[in-house]
Amino acid sequence: MAVTIKDVARAAGVSAATVTRALSKPEVVRPATRDRVKEIAASLGYHPNRAARGLITGRTGNLGLLVPDLGNPFFPSIVKGVQARAHEADHAVFLADTDEDPAAEAGLVRKLAKQVDGVLLCSPRMAEAEIRALATEVPTVLLYRRVPGVASVTAEFLDGMRQAVSHLVALGHRRIAYVAGPRTSWANRERVRSLRAVTRTRVELVETGNVVPQFEGGVSVADQVLAAEVTAVIAYNDLVALGLLHRFAARGVAVPHDISVLGFDDIPLAAMVHPALTTVALPKDQAGQAGVDLLLRERHRERRELPTQLMVRGSTGPAR
Amino acid sequence: MAVTIKDVARAAGVSAATVTRALSKPEVVRPATRDRVKEIAASLGYHPNRAARGLITGRTGNLGLLVPDLGNPFFPSIVKGVQARAHEADHAVFLADTDEDPAAEAGLVRKLAKQVDGVLLCSPRMAEAEIRALATEVPTVLLYRRVPGVASVTAEFLDGMRQAVSHLVALGHRRIAYVAGPRTSWANRERVRSLRAVTRTRVELVETGNVVPQFEGGVSVADQVLAAEVTAVIAYNDLVALGLLHRFAARGVAVPHDISVLGFDDIPLAAMVHPALTTVALPKDQAGQAGVDLLLRERHRERRELPTQLMVRGSTGPAR
DNA sequence: TTGAAAGCGTTACCAG
DNA sequence: CTGGTAACGCTTTCAA
């Protein structure tokens, strides 16, 4: 049997009320009593039952975090940021990986809702209406997505895209392919929008069909990219870019000599491969941390937009 | 305000007791009442507060999962397995990333203990005594580690190592380096032990110093490996192997022509790089799932040992 | 088959 | 400064 507040109270010869005060409002209890209670609590190994506490205070000390696919290294990075900040604030984190299944997500959140003080939603595909509904049921912060009226943390995609295109233009590229991610993904729509805005005059843009946001997506579309006779390609994300790299290598296409490849996200992997991947770094730890801050400070309307940074590495070079 | 059982009871014109019965023991309540209650509950969007339920039943419907570093793609794979199985069993998962900080782990677990039905511990470095203590406080299953008296899911490391060494021997390798992981890591000790057992007669083994179990660890030790004049190297894990690959490439050492490289884990990344990494695949999803099964079926003593599988890819070849 | 009441562990409020 | 009591939302006796 776990040790409860009553055990401590009995052992210390005080009431439960005094125990709880000694522990959570030390200043209102006489020092001698306080110290004795604290000592006994420690020696008994007492930890308040957070569920019981939550029942009465309305605050559970828990956070929910929803991500679409932990297999994409982008998301573990976010999770780490969330965890770090949450633990600092003495909160525990419920994690749910929805496996890219938008249908299941809302249900998952609702099951968690009562057990958490708020939810961080990293859910590029969930319907906007669903998100709005959820946000009325439980404090919600969106990660990497914007929905009117809901707090969110995003990145400066437009500026990131501008950095990417400027880099390629400076290298002499004038005809560039974009490998699109899932059609229904907010992030993809945002990237396409930014890309079009940024290339309007300077560059000819070739958009391929949509692929799954994974390594396999890149592999599958690589030959189309080659056939499009571009000198550079921007991928929806790093995983897709790595898929391109892989298939290019298999076909004997040299990167960056024959074609330049540029990714998005800056997953740790991007720096580990050969040639290393030039990519637009999105804030990950910081996004997670900022999300937790918004949630815990009850900034339920606020939007934060974090800077992005082009990481120039080996996979981009002069247009041939 | 969230909708509670009382709201449903009032709306349905029954008592709270009947509502809870209609929902959790449908057979003991009159069909007409049951259906009406269910309908109203659904229309009101009622979900039982699991924390309150846990208070009385002693079962929370939550699981805790501790991993040392989500940045290592091995662990997200495990998390996915755990999640999948936990959700099937209608359980939610608390995730804690300890950031390779064994000191913090025990405290984290204890904070969670009251809120979960059990804990999955993936904690290669925590002291054995600490683990034993924890296991008496909360149902515990160890992942990838064995401690007497505590339930665990591990892999057949010895057999995996045998497969790896046989493969290298068949390719003509007679002098092999092993890049060791953290000295205090159970997995590393196990690998060293297996490796020694398996190489006793056939192969000359050169063990390098211990490195951090990350990409950087491999990079940092690569030159030592080269100086050791071996024809093949087995790394503590895939991340370390990728670090070796990276530094070898930078030094103009061709893999597998000049040296063969073999990893451990089979993280997704291993198949994506060039040359693809030969590695011993450890069960990941299955380990997570098996762990959840042990926990939920209250097999608090059982040990399961899952098979491993050598994945032969481009990074190993004939000894030169 | 249903309802009333007790109680899970905690904290908030009100007396003293 | 401290203790008693009520209440959080739920499930489980025990009676009816």
pLDDT in tens, A276-287: 999 999 999 999
- Contact present, A262 and A238 (Cβ < 8 Å): no
Pair of tokens at residue A224: 């189309």
Residue B91: which residues within 8 A CB-CB, separation 6 or more?
Answer: B61, B62, B63, B117, B292, B296
Query: What is the predicted pLDDT for the residue at A102?
Result: 76
Region B301-320: what's the mean pLDDT?
96
Report chain D positions within 7 A of protein CB atoms.
Answer: 1-5, 7-13
Closest residue in A to B104 (Cα–Cα): A87
The nearest CA of chain B is from the CA of A202 a distance in Å of 34
Q: What is the DSSP letter of B275?
A: S
Region A50-61: what's the mean pLDDT?
93
- Contact present, B124 and B72 (Cβ < 8 Å): no
How long is the CA A15 to C1' D3 vector, in angstroms? 6
pLDDT band for position A264 (50/70/90)? Answer: very high
Query: Which single residue is written with the structure tokens 């021997």?
Result: B169
Instruction: Find residue B198's DSSP bridge partners.
Output: none
pLDDT band for position B105 (50/70/90)? Answer: confident
pLDDT at B242 over 70: yes
Residue B105 to residue B123: CA distance in whole angstroms? 8
In order of A41, A78, A79, A236, B182, the CA distances from A185 in angstroms are 51, 18, 20, 11, 41
Query: What is the predicted pLDDT for the residue at B124?
Result: 85
- Contact present, A212 and A182 (Cβ < 8 Å): yes
Tell me the pLDDT tens digit for each residue of A272-315. Answer: 998 999 999 999 999 999 999 999 988 888 999 999 999 999 99
**Strand D at less than 7 A from CB of B136:** no
Higher-confidence residue of B298 and A207: namely A207
Name the residue facing B115 among A50, A77, A243 (closest C-beta): A50
Tell me the pLDDT tens digit for each residue of A92-126. Answer: 999 999 876 778 788 888 888 889 999 999 988 89
Q: For the whole model, what pTM was predicted? A: 0.93
Please count the other Cβ atoms lying within 10 Å of the Cβ belonging to residue B200.
9
pLDDT at B100 over 80: no
Residue contact A114–B47, C-beta within 8 A? yes
Helix axes B50-57, A50-57, angle to 10 degrees: 130
- Structural domains of chain B ordered from first start: 5-57 (1.10.260.40), 62-154+285-306 (3.40.50.2300), 157-282 (3.40.50.2300)
How long is the CA B60 to C1' D11 vector, in angstroms? 13
CA dihedral B31, B37, B39, B42 (to 10 degrees): -140
Query: What is the predicted pLDDT for the residue at B29?
Result: 92
Query: What is the predicted pLDDT for the residue at B298?
Result: 82
pLDDT at B31 over 80: yes
pLDDT band for position A1 (50/70/90)? Answer: low
